[in-house]
Each structure stands twice: as structure tokens, then as C-alpha cells.
Amino acid sequence: MTDTRHGPTPLPAPKRLGWTGWRNRLAASRAFQRWASRFPLTRGFARREGEAIFDLVSGFVYSQVLLALVELRLLRRLAEGPASAAALAGRAAVPTDRLETLLRAGAAIGLLKRRRDGRFDLAQRGAALLGVPGLEAMIRHHRVLYRDLEDPVAFLRGETETELAGFWPYVFGAAAAGDPQTAQTYSDLMADSQLLVAEDVLQTVSFRGVSHLMDVGGGTGAFLAAVGAAHPGLTMTLFDLPVVVPGAEARFATAGIADRVRVVPGSFRDDPLPPGADAISLIRVLYDHEDDTIVALLSQVRAVLPSDGLLVVAEPMLGGVTPDRAGDAYFAFYCMAMRTGRTRSADQIAELLRAAGFTGIETPRPRRPFVASVVTARAGSTPA
């Protein structure tokens, strides 16, 4: 908050000026900032902090630059080779001077690079972005989230009717997910992201000794297809809403594993889980739902697993004691916009598992927290 007559409003005086309070008051002092920006031992730190603050302030513009590059397919066109703004402007239907501004902005945020001859090329980060399955679709999808967060205070007060609540209707039950076109849209988006999750799960979890894996809420089967390719002897079951069954069956047929996978239509809200699996996976499922739904689901999972059966939970999670940007900022707000679920830390999920009777709970260090963290547990003995 700024008072236009007297400049920035100073920090309120802390009740006890400990180290943190003293440091923060010093950092908020304009005189100290000016000194630190000139003093040789601190000016590098001051510059980095200033740039980090500026990035927070201007981040929305960066995200819109990214969206424009994706929507205009400029990253893909530059993947074919360097080109000038003039050469790209016609195909993009954007005036050359404005496209030049967009390309320079893309270079400034590290997605492109400007050559000495004035043409633009794809930078390593831009090329890596193109290699992430489904990332361009997610970037396009973000326009919905941006609209939901247009007024963040109203959003936090629960005064916003969010569009995301309608985009992911399956979280409200089978009846809400009955439209095939809507189901296809969210199934495609979910399937692309599940490929990345499968990579991390397969590097983190050992399926040695597992003979039958059931994926609950697995959409069109991207996760099971990846696990099935890595473990040719594994029998599998997919349990999800009837509307996604055709897509799953087509995926398994294309992958050549249809004879190893049983597709069972149903909603874990309303229908019993099929028995027979000695391992169950919940991939990006828990954070879509509130605690009461999760408690009921975990009870079902434990009931159908044999003693010492394996449960694998994989999804983005809160950072716990140390918040991180993926779980505590991005996914926490995304789930809030969905109006049904919420992100949890690995410890919070472990607590829910213990309450459901699971034992042997492990929370391995995530390989890529922005993709997923993993919690595993064993069913334990069922009380007599």
C-alpha cells in the first residue's frame, strides 16, 4: 500500500524485534536498499532480489507471452529453423512490429533467442517445452484459470463462480460427467499429464511381486499403458466412469495390451471397487476431492486389497513445513478453483492412510514435485 503524499507505508513496528523483524525492517528501508545496490559485497544480492520482485509483479505478462507463442504456433514454427519477425508475421496474422515485440519478449523469458542477423530461433527451454506431453494444451487451458483468478480477493472470499468447476465435472460424481464431449476434453488433458506421472512413479515405486494392478480413476488409461509397457507380465484393471471406457479400450488396443487389461465402468462414489488386485494406484485422484470422499475411498481400497497389498498415491502435494511453488501456489489455487478438492502434504495423506488402517507408509523424496509426489502404503491385516 502506498500513500501518494508520503511515499511507501513503513512496516508496522513488531512487538519484539528479533532477527527476522530486524532484517525485514532493514530490507524495507529505502536508504538501505540504495546503499546495498551500490556496496560491492551486497549489490549482486540486491540486484537478484530486485529482479525476483519484478518477476513476481510482471509474471502475468510473461504467462500471456507464453500463451501467445503457443496459440500462434511460433515455438513449433521456430523448431523448423530460425526466422525473422517479418517472415512469421503473415502466417500469424499479426503486424510485423507487434510480432517482433512478442518474439523479443519470448527471448527475454528464455524460450527463444535472437540471432545476430535479427532472426529468432528456439532456445533450449522452448525446445524442452515442446517435448513435454500435453503442456501446450495445458497452457491453452490456463485461460480458464486466469478468468477465475481475475479478482483474487473475490475468489478467496468464495464470491466467484469458477469456470473450472464446470470443466472437471467428474469430481462431482458420475451424473455430472455424462457429456461425452466434455469428458473427451478433460480425459485428453488428464491423459497427457499422466504420462509424466507414470515416469516418476516407475522410477520411485517397485512393482516387484505385484501380479495385478488396479488403477482407480485412471481416465483413458495412460498410466496403466505406461506401467504395462514397463512390466509385461502384469495383469491390470482400470476402474473409472462409463463415459471414459471407449477411450480406454481404444488406448489399450493400440498399445497391444487389451488382453491384459480389464476395464470396469463405475464411480467410486457410488459403486464398489472390483476385487482381485494386489496393488491399487490412485493417480491424481485425492486432490480432486474433500476429506470425506477420500476417507470413504481409502476404506474401500483397503477392503479389497489383500493383507500387505500395495497402495500407490501419486499427485502434486503441498510442501509441508517448507511450502513450494508447485503445490502451495499453483495446484492449491487450481484445486480451489475446482471448488471440490484441495492439495495436501505427504504427511497429511499419510495421516489419512493411517486412519484408514494402512501400515508401512513411505513418502519418498519426489523426483519432480511439479509433476507429482508419491506416497505408498500397505493394507495391513484386516481386523477380525
Cβ 263 vs Cβ 245: under 8 Å? yes
CB count in 10 Å sphere of residue 128: 12
Q: Report the domain count for the chain.
A: 2
Sorted by sequence, the CB contacts under 8 Å of residue 332 that are 6+ apart come out as 318, 342, 343
Query: What is the tens place of the pLDDT at every residue in 118-160?
Result: 999 999 999 999 998 888 989 999 999 999 999 999 999 999 9
The pLDDT of residue 206 is 93
CATH number at residue 74: 1.10.10.10
Which segments of the chain does DSSP mark as H helices, in order? 19-27, 30-38, 43-71, 74-78, 85-92, 96-108, 124-130, 135-148, 152-156, 164-167, 180-204, 222-230, 245-255, 291-304, 332-338, 346-355
The pLDDT of residue 201 is 95
Instruction: Let me know whether 84 and 164 are in one domain.
Output: no
Domain boundary among 130, 157, 173: 130
Domain boundary among 100, 130, 160: 130
Domain boundary among 87, 102, 130: 130
Rounded CA gap, 337 and 298, in Å? Answer: 24
Rounded CA gap, 197 and 317, in Å? Answer: 13
Beta-strand pair 261-265/235-240:
parallel
The pLDDT of residue 204 is 95
The answer to whether residue 177 is domain-embedded is yes
Residue 279's φ and ψ, nearest 5 degrees, are: -150, 140
Which segments of 122-179 does DSSP mark as H helices, in order? 124-130, 135-148, 152-156, 164-167
Cell triple for 243: 463415459
Instruction: Let me know whether 229 and 97 are in one domain.
Output: no
Cell triple for 361: 507408509
Instruction: Let me know whether 265 and 154 are in one domain.
Output: yes
The pLDDT of residue 181 is 59
Q: Report residue 324 CA to chain centroid gap.
A: 12
The pLDDT of residue 2 is 43
The answer to whether residue 56 is domain-embedded is yes
The pLDDT of residue 49 is 83
The answer to whether residue 5 is domain-embedded is no
CATH number at residue 339: 3.40.50.150
Q: For all residues of the chain together, what is the average pLDDT?
A: 87
State which residues form the domain around 69: 17-130
Instruction: Let me know whether 116 and 162 are in one domain.
Output: no
SS3 of residue 76 by DSSP: helix
Instruction: Let me know whether 123 and 222 are in one domain.
Output: no
Query: What b/e sequence results for 334-355 when a residue is b if at least 16 CB atoms lie within 10 Å of its CB, and e otherwise?
Result: bbbbbbbbbbbbbebbbebbee
Quickly tell me which residue has 486389497 as its cell: 305
For the chain, residues with pLDDT lower than 70 are 1-17, 22, 24, 26, 36, 168-189, 381-384
Query: What is the tens place of the pLDDT at every residue in 76-106?
Result: 999 999 999 999 999 999 999 999 999 999 9
Rounded CA gap, 313 and 146, in Å? Answer: 29
Instruction: Let me know whether 167 and 294 are in one domain.
Output: yes
Instruction: Let me know whether 105 and 161 are in one domain.
Output: no
